[in-house]
Amino acid sequence: MLVSRAGVLTAMGVGPFALFALLFLLLPTSNLLIGAFQDGDGTPTWANIAGLLTPSVIAAFRVSIIVSAVSAVLGAAAGLAVALALRGDAIPQVIRQAVLTVSGVASNFAGVPLAFAFLATLGRTGLVTVILKSWFGVDLYASGFNLLSIVGLVFTYLYFQMPLMVLVIMPAVEGVKRDWAEAAAMLGASPAQFMLRIVAPVLAPSVIGAALLLFANAFGAVATAYALTGSSVNLVTILLFAQIRGDVLHDPNLGYALALGMVVVTGLCNVAYLRLRAFSDRRLR
Partner 1 sequence: MSFLTVHGLRKAFGPVVAVQDFSLEAERGEFISLLGPSGCGKTTVLRMIAGFERPTAGRVVIDGEDVTDLPTRARRIGMVFQSYALFPNLTVEGNIAFGLKVAGIGREAIATRVKEMLGLIGLQQLGGRYPMELSGGQQQRVALARAVAIRPRILLLDEPLSALDAKIRVSLREEVRGIQRELGITAIFVTHDQEEALALSHRVVVMSEGWVEQTGTPAEVYRTPRTPFVATFVGTANVLPCRIEAAAGKVVRYGAARLTAGQAVTGAVGEIVQFAVRPEAIGLQRFEGASNSLAAVVQDTRFLGPVVRLRVMLEGGLPAVVDVHGEGARDVPAAGAAVHLWFRPESLQVLDRHGHGARAAGSGPGGSSGP
Q: How many CB atoms lie within 10 A of CB 206?
A: 20
Interface residue with partner 1, options 21, 182, 232, 250 (CB under 8 A): 182
- Helix, strand, or coil (residue 259): helix
Interface residue with partner 1, options 177, 245, 250, 275 (CB under 8 A): 177
Per-residue buried b or exposed e for 218-231, using 16+ beta carbons within 10 Å of the residue's own CB: bbebbebbbbbbee
Interface residue with partner 1, options 63, 202, 210, 228 (CB under 8 A): 202
Q: Does 130 bind partner 1 (CB under 8 A)?
A: no
- Output 197 or 250, the one with its CB closest to partner 1: 197
Q: How many CB atoms lie within 10 A of CB 120?
A: 13
- Output 28 or 191, the one with its CB closest to partner 1: 191
CB 110 within 8 A of CB 160: yes
CA–CA dist 246, 212 (Å, integer): 32
Nearest to 238 by CA among 52, 164, 229: 229
Q: Does 285 bind partner 1 (CB under 8 A)?
A: yes
How many of the chain's residues bind partner 1 (CB under 8 A)? 21
- Tell me which stretch binds partner 1 (CB under 8 A): 43-51, 145-153, 186-194, 256-264: 186-194
Q: Does 278 bind partner 1 (CB under 8 A)?
A: no
Judged by the rule CB under 8 A, the positions of this chain that interact with partner 1 are: 177, 179-180, 182-190, 193, 197-198, 201-202, 282-285
